Amino acid sequence: MTDLTKLKIAEARDLLKKGDISARELTEAYISAVEAADALNAYVAKTPEMALEMADKADAMIKAGGQKGMTGIPVGIKDLFATKGVHTQACSHILDGFKPEYESTVSQKLWDDGAVMLGKLNMDEFAMGSSNETSYYGPVKNPWRAKGSNNDFVPGGSSGGSVASVAGYCAMGATASDTGGSIRQPAAFTGTFGIKPTYGRCSRYGMVAFASSLDQAGTITRDVRDGAIMLESISGFDAKDSTSVDLPVPNFEAALTGDIRGMKIGIPQEYHLAGMPAEIEALWHQGIEWMKAAGAEVVDINLPHTKYALPTYYIVAPAEASSNLARYDGVRYGLRETVEGGGLVDMYEATRAAGFGDEVKRRIMIGTYVLSAGYYDAYYLKAQKVRKLISDDFKRAFEKVDAILTPTAPSAAFAFGEKSDDPIAMYLNDVFTVPASLAGIPGSSVPAGLDANGLPLGLQILGKAWDEETVLKVSGVIEEAAGFTAKPEEWWR
């Protein structure tokens, strides 16, 4: 029998349909794989018993002729999504022991379609990080290692557990969230496909908030088709989220025609960064050639406010975070630290000092500062104006082009500790992903090659608001052209 964990979602779906495999068999294979992959530290909570129950339900659904795209597919859920009765802490100490009474809309949609939950996935604390090093549960290890080396690399972040579980064969797909690149950058670091849809495409209900105007759910899968299938499952309007938009969800898989002839692909000149590794430039150039070869027209475009994107992001996101994280005060749930003889303020201080990690504290302080009286206009208000300009850059560009092609990140995965002492260096990793987050437009990262050390590199495709179909279509063409078949050695087994 073939190793079921090597199947892709689309393949498993067809085998399930034919009755060649059962959801239970598939799930059992994954439960074993999850058990064997502790070295990756991808899961912070495992739910094998629930998984088997859900698998049996999925088998019943299939038997009754009600199979959907995700029926019987074992997936992991980023710890940011509320899952009823199951560990939901956004990998923060401050939410110790928190098990919600409710289910996030995104995960509920998966369960409604018959998907199977393997457990909760590790992440940077409150999704604040680009290397998964800020998790209270310790860093996730990248399944990929450099050629001939036993050194560990970061998986990227914040969706580190999501990408490691998918790249490491311990989930067929995973939910993820992207605030400034938290889906695309880790996807690039692990040779997986990540897609962040348009802001408002997926409900934020039940997603632990980091920066509300930027947070958007998405998926990590092993290829583009799987991404289309899973994204379709989690998308759709939700009255419980005022910022979700009431638009029909297209059949995303149907968009994968492979035909981009006549399409215009924009190449933003501002993304040629000084000092960017030559192999990133080379990969980008390769991508351009693939586009041309597929019959697309490649056009140079300008996104003049790109250089302001990172500073803008690091004002807007911390500002919202400083307010969103105020609810973690030790009063109602999670961690509570008290001081002998102390009062309410002492409890707040002790709880938040013990409960939040350094990066989270840093962002709360930045956010509090930029919203303070006397600084609001200079920072927050200015940042909002610049954000509008960045958004307008994209709008203008999309009057001329159908999609935009860029590298996903300025480097391949890096080593642990390499950037964790230098927040600015860490933030720079998001330089190509942040602008699209600020504009709320859809974007993906497609595995496109390996660097000199044999570590994966990704190309980013950006599309117009609500045009995930073009993003997926172009992603599919890159995937096809790249023929990315490299796999990590399964050292963790």
Partner 1 sequence: MGKYIVQGATGDFEIVLGLEVHAQVISNAKLFSGAATEFGAEPNAQVSLVDAAMPGMLPTINAECIRQAVRTGLALGAQINKFSVFDRKNYFYADLPQGYQISQFKHPIVGEGTVTLDLADGSTKEVGIERIHLEQDAGKSMHDQHPQYTYVDLNRSGVALMEIVSKPDMRSPEEAGAYLTKLRTILRYIGSCDGNMEQGSMRADVNVSVRRPGEPFGTRCEIKNVNSIRFVRQAIEYEAQRQVDIIEAGGKVDQETRLFDPNKGETRSMRSKEEAHDYRYFPDPDLLPVEFDDAFIEAARASLPELPDHKKARFVEELGLPDYNASVLVAEKESCDYFEDLIAALAKKVGKDVKDVAAKASNWVTGDLFGALNKAGKSVTESPVSAAQGADLLALIEDGTISGRIAKDVFEIMFETGKDADVIVEEKGLKQVSDTGEIEKIIDEVIAANPGQLEQYRAGKDKLIGFFVGQVMKATGGKANPGLVNQLLKPKLDG
At 251 the three-state DSSP class reads: coil
* Site for partner 1, residues 403 to 432, rule: CB under 8 A: none
Structure tokens at 35: 């058990």
Q: Are 455 and 435 in contact (CB under 8 A)?
A: no
Residue of 25, 84, 213, 237 interacting with partner 1 (CB under 8 A): 213
The count of other CB atoms within 10 Å of the CB of residue 81 is 29
Q: Minimal distance in Å, beta carbon 293 to partner 1?
A: 42
3-state SS, 13-54, equals HHHHHHCCCCHHHHHHHHHHHHHHCHHHCCEEEECHHHHHHH
Residue 223 near partner 1 by CB under 8 A: no
Structure tokens at 153: 């690399």
Q: Minimal distance in Å, beta carbon 348 to partner 1?
A: 6
Which lies closer to partner 1 via its Cβ, residue 103 or residue 451? Answer: 103
Q: Minimal distance in Å, beta carbon 68 to partner 1?
A: 25
Which lies closer to partner 1 via its Cβ, residue 7 or residue 371? Answer: 371
Give every strand in the sheet of 216-221, ordered side by side: 43-46, 116-121, 74-78, 173-178, 216-221, 193-196, 443-450, 456-463, 403-407, 264-268, 297-301
Of 107, 130, 135, 158, the active-site residue reads: 158
Question: What sections of 223-268 are H helices per DSSP?
Answer: 224-234
Which lies closer to partner 1 via its Cβ, residue 49 or residue 340? Answer: 340
Q: Minimal distance in Å, beta carbon 117 to partner 1?
A: 17
Residue of 43, 98, 153, 394 interacting with partner 1 (CB under 8 A): 98
Which lies closer to partner 1 via its Cβ, residue 199 or residue 414? Answer: 199
Separation CA 307–CA 92 (nearest Å): 32
At 336 the three-state DSSP class reads: coil
Is 78 part of the annotated catalytic residue set? yes
Question: Which residues share a beta bridge with 415?
Answer: 153
Q: Minimal distance in Å, beta carbon 241 to partner 1?
A: 5
Q: Minimal distance in Å, beta carbon 253 to partner 1?
A: 29
Separation CA 248–CA 304 (nearest Å): 33
236 Rama sector, left if φ>0, alpha if ψ -120 to 50, beta otherwise: left
The count of other CB atoms within 10 Å of the CB of residue 50 is 17
In 3D space, the residue among 430, 203, 400 whose CA is nearest the CA of residue 311 turns out to be 430
Of 22, 130, 182, 322, the active-site residue reads: 182
Which lies closer to partner 1 via its Cβ, residue 93 or residue 204? Answer: 204
Cα torsion through 72, 73, 76, 82, rounded to 10: -50
Q: Are 45 and 90 in contact (CB under 8 A)?
A: no
Residue 487 near partner 1 by CB under 8 A: no
Is 323 part of the annotated catalytic residue set? no
Residue 101 near partner 1 by CB under 8 A: yes
Structure tokens at 215: 């947070």
- CA 8 to centroid of chain Cα atoms: 19
Is 182 part of the annotated catalytic residue set? yes
End-to-end CA distance of the chain: 19
* 143-151, 286-294, 326-334, 446-454 -> range binding partner 1 (CB under 8 A): 326-334
Q: Are 187 and 219 in contact (CB under 8 A)?
A: no
Residue of 36, 53, 146, 212 interacting with partner 1 (CB under 8 A): 212
* Site for partner 1, residues 50 to 89, rule: CB under 8 A: 81-82, 88
Residue 237 near partner 1 by CB under 8 A: no
Q: Minimal distance in Å, beta carbon 82 to partner 1?
A: 5
Which lies closer to partner 1 via its Cβ, residue 71 or residue 92? Answer: 92
* 303-311, 327-335, 438-446, 460-468 -> range binding partner 1 (CB under 8 A): 327-335
Separation CA 264–CA 298 (nearest Å): 6
Residue 332 near partner 1 by CB under 8 A: yes
Residue of 63, 327, 396, 400 interacting with partner 1 (CB under 8 A): 327
* 115-123, 142-150, 210-218, 220-228 -> range binding partner 1 (CB under 8 A): 210-218
Q: Are 284 and 355 in contact (CB under 8 A)?
A: no
* 32-40, 60-68, 316-324, 399-407 -> range binding partner 1 (CB under 8 A): 316-324
Separation CA 432–CA 448 (nearest Å): 16
Which lies closer to partner 1 via its Cβ, residue 384 or residue 453? Answer: 384
- CA 444 to centroid of chain Cα atoms: 10
* Site for partner 1, residues 333 to 392, rule: CB under 8 A: 333, 344-345, 348, 368, 371-373, 376, 380
Chain residues that interact with partner 1, rule: CB under 8 A: 81-82, 88, 90, 95, 98, 100-102, 104, 204-209, 211-213, 239-243, 319-320, 322-323, 325-327, 329, 331-333, 344-345, 348, 368, 371-373, 376, 380
Which residues are catalytically annotated?
78, 158, 182
